[in-house]
Chains A and B, each alone.
Chain A
Amino acid sequence: MFLSEVRGADLPPLSEDRVAPLLRSLDPMPVCDFVVRSPTGVALPGRYIDAFLIVDAQWQLATAIGRVHAACAAAARTGARLVTLGGFSSIVGESARLDPASEFGVPFTTGNTLTAAVVAEQALTAAEGDTHARVTVFGAGGDVGSGVCRILHSRGLKPALVGRRPTPLAALAAELPGTTVCSWEDAAPRSDIVVLVASATLGAVCLERVLQSAVVLDAGHPPNGAASPGVRYARAGRVRLACPLETDLPAVLRHYQRGELHACLAEGMTLALESRWEAYSVGRGGITPARAAEILALAARHGIGPAPLRWEDAPLS
């Protein structure tokens, strides 16, 4: 939690159990400003607004939707030309079909297309070109998950589809020949690569049955799994910026390696640097390989690309 770091060394750190009740009641608010730069020379200002979503046993979707909605309103009040949802707010915005464009006149993007594109690229890196690698996508019925599956399928892989909702999984399996819907219990011990992209609470996915040789790429936010003994576990869905983000509150970036960021946020930055003030990623199920390729190319033009995978601080390659 960045608040403890910002608070100053002269005060005791804030404990989560004391802060959580306060944050649960706190309205979304602007936290800091930043400047995003492109190697092309373009620089744009941005503002980080925290919706204070605490994803734990007490969280409720209706409350979360209200918070994300209020955060969009706060963004509109600051004169934003584009709103990008990040982390769990992206999942909430997608599932709630939020439409701040019509309400506040500001387009917004969930950032899911770049997230899916980056996660798929990272999975392909992990596969090292082996189109026979056994890939399981946990959360395949969601927007990012289905997008990852489509991209991987277009590159010759046949992912196993795991998720909670049978209907979208069956539809995806029908759309992508060669893919199959599986239970996690069946898929876990038969996977070379596991991609976690579920809308789940922290550490909800048990990795006990995953093969010791398997690679687990966790793009969940909050993380779906956790580093476990013998499992090659890496956080995925992050990009590296050629020009690191400049912010007047560096503590908010403390969970990132320098110059790295969640891809969902980078999608909004990419669109802004391209002067494309549009709702690029909205709703669920619209991420195609072509759209993913487009946003990856746009991002690359501004020095934004998939971050190297790390576990125990060692690059995969």
Chain B
Amino acid sequence: MITATDPRYPMVYRDVVAHSVTGEAVGIEHYSRMIPLARSIDERLDLLEDAYHEKLHLLSMREVGARLAVPVKTNMDGPYWRQVRDAFRERADAGDLLGCYVMQDIILETFAVVLYEAILPGSDPFAAERVRVIAGEEREHLAHGIRALTEEFARDADALRERVDFANERVARVLAEWIGPEECGPHCGVCNEACAKLDLHLLGVEMPVVQARFVADYGEALRTIGFRPADVTRWLARLPA
């Protein structure tokens, strides 16, 4: 693993920053789309706060980029994020708040937690402090989502299962493929030049481990919500290896 004094560090970490900032921007967009669908003032306030947290994360990672003196690329329209955002917008436009929660609070928050925690050991102290805080808050979002959906599961398990079916196909499969061990097929549009996955090992990040962590944590979230292990196994088996 290289240290922050290694001349390669800023070159590798700029892609980390680009992915963080773009991912947080997507989070802001998603929570913003959910606000009009809120069923109560309290829920509206919670979603507003979630969006605000994502904004703080974005700004925090921008500071990391500034300190490293690297340009902070942001692109929400690359092939992977485009698919995810299209799926989310489809459900939001249909007024499906439950479906939005599954995609944002479970799948995307799991994705964020796993990636932030993966990058933490290889981060310089300035970045690590921020990454640690962000990862903790994303984990809180995930826990909040799990609690909320556990109640929904108790109310109508079949309705929630339909949402997971959709989100697994349209979001989880895309993200699992994106973090696969091989270089991305189409360029993601977020990495500054070549696929960042080729260099992440320099920061101690092993993509098979990251992918496995995503699969494990996503599955654990679904089982905690109340889904039977067999249902979860069927969903996980559909993810790309």
Q: Chain B residues near A32: list those with CB within 8 A.
A: 228-230, 233
The 7 closest A-B pairs by CB, nearest first: A25-B212, A30-B229, A32-B230, A248-B230, A249-B230, A6-B237, A18-B241
Partner of A22, one of B212, B219, B223, B234: B212
Pairs across A and B, CB under 8 Å, 16 listed: A14-B237, A19-B241, A23-B212, A24-B212, A25-B206, A25-B208, A26-B215, A27-B212, A27-B216, A30-B223, A30-B232, A47-B229, A48-B229, A247-B230, A248-B228, A249-B229
Closest Cβ of chain A: how far from B152's Cβ, in Å? 21
Given A32-B229, A33-B228, A14 and B212 touching (CB < 8 A)? Answer: no
B238 at the interface (CB under 8 A from A): yes
For residue B233, which residue of chain A has the nearest CB? A31
CA distance A15 to B182 in the complex (A): 15
CA distance A261 to B101 in the complex (A): 41
A41 at the interface (CB under 8 A from B): no
For residues 231 through 251 of chain A, which have their beta carbon under 8 Å from a beta carbon of chain B?
247-249
A7 at the interface (CB under 8 A from B): yes
Given A29-B220, A30-B223, A30-B229, A7 and B215 touching (CB < 8 A)? Answer: no
Given A30-B223, A32-B229, A33-B229, A25 and B211 touching (CB < 8 A)? Answer: yes
Contact with A along B192-231 (1 / 0, CB 8 A): 0000000000000010110111011001100100001110
Cβ B213 vs Cβ A25 within 8 A? yes
Q: Chain A residues near B206: list those with CB within 8 A.
A: 25
Q: Chain A residues near B211: list those with CB within 8 A.
A: 22, 25
7 more CB-based (< 8 A) A-B contacts, given A6-B233, A11-B238, A29-B229: A8-B234, A14-B241, A26-B215, A30-B223, A33-B230, A248-B228, A249-B230
B181 at the interface (CB under 8 A from A): yes
CA distance A6 to B234 in the complex (A): 6
Q: State which size class the interface on A falls in.
A: 20 to 34
Given A21-B181, A25-B212, A7 and B237 touching (CB < 8 A)? Answer: yes
Cβ A31 vs Cβ B230 within 8 A? yes
Q: State which size class the interface on B falls in.
A: 20 to 34
Given A11-B238, A29-B220, A248-B228, A22 and B233 touching (CB < 8 A)? Answer: no
In the complex, the number of residue pairs spanning A and B with C-beta atoms less than 8 Å apart equals 65
For residue B220, which residue of chain A has the nearest CB? A29
A174 at the interface (CB under 8 A from B): no
CA distance A26 to B232 in the complex (A): 15
Taking Cβ atoms with an 8 Å cutoff, the residues of A that contact B are: 3-4, 6-8, 11, 14-15, 18-19, 21-27, 29-33, 47-48, 247-249
Cβ B216 vs Cβ A3 within 8 A? no
For residue A250, which residue of chain B has the nearest CB? B230
CA distance A18 to B219 in the complex (A): 20
Given A19-B241, A29-B216, A24 and B208 touching (CB < 8 A)? Answer: yes
Q: Chain B residues near A19: list those with CB within 8 A.
A: 241
Cβ A21 vs Cβ B220 within 8 A? no
CA distance A21 to B206 in the complex (A): 11
Interface SS of A by simple majority: mixed
Q: Chain B residues near A22: list those with CB within 8 A.
A: 208, 211-212, 215, 241
Q: Chain A residues near B237: list those with CB within 8 A.
A: 3-4, 6-8, 14
Closest Cβ of chain B: how far from A18's Cβ, in Å? 4
CA distance A32 to B212 in the complex (A): 19
Closest Cβ of chain B: how far from A172's Cβ, in Å? 41
CA distance A32 to B233 in the complex (A): 7
Q: Chain A residues near B241: list those with CB within 8 A.
A: 14-15, 18-19, 21-22
For residue B176, which residue of chain A has the nearest CB? A22
Closest Cβ of chain A: how far from B66's Cβ, in Å? 34
Cβ B238 vs Cβ A26 within 8 A? no
Cβ A26 vs Cβ B216 within 8 A? yes
Closest Cβ of chain B: how far from A16's Cβ, in Å? 10
CA distance A19 to B232 in the complex (A): 17
For residue B217, which residue of chain A has the nearest CB? A27
Q: Chain A residues near B232: list those with CB within 8 A.
A: 30
For residues 92 through 130 of chain B, which have their beta carbon under 8 Å from a beta carbon of chain A?
none
Closest Cβ of chain B: how far from A127's Cβ, in Å? 41
CA distance A247 to B237 in the complex (A): 17
Closest Cβ of chain B: how far from A206's Cβ, in Å? 33
For residue A15, which residue of chain B has the nearest CB? B241
Closest Cβ of chain A: how far from B228's Cβ, in Å? 6
Q: Chain A residues near B216: list those with CB within 8 A.
A: 26-27, 29
Cβ B213 vs Cβ A29 within 8 A? no
CA distance A25 to B211 in the complex (A): 8
CA distance A25 to B209 in the complex (A): 5
Closest Cβ of chain B: how far from A118's Cβ, in Å? 28
CA distance A239 to B216 in the complex (A): 32
Closest Cβ of chain B: how far from A1's Cβ, in Å? 10
Q: Chain A residues near B215: list those with CB within 8 A.
A: 22, 26
Q: Chain B residues near A29: list those with CB within 8 A.
A: 216, 219-220, 229
Closest Cβ of chain A: how far from B106's Cβ, in Å? 16
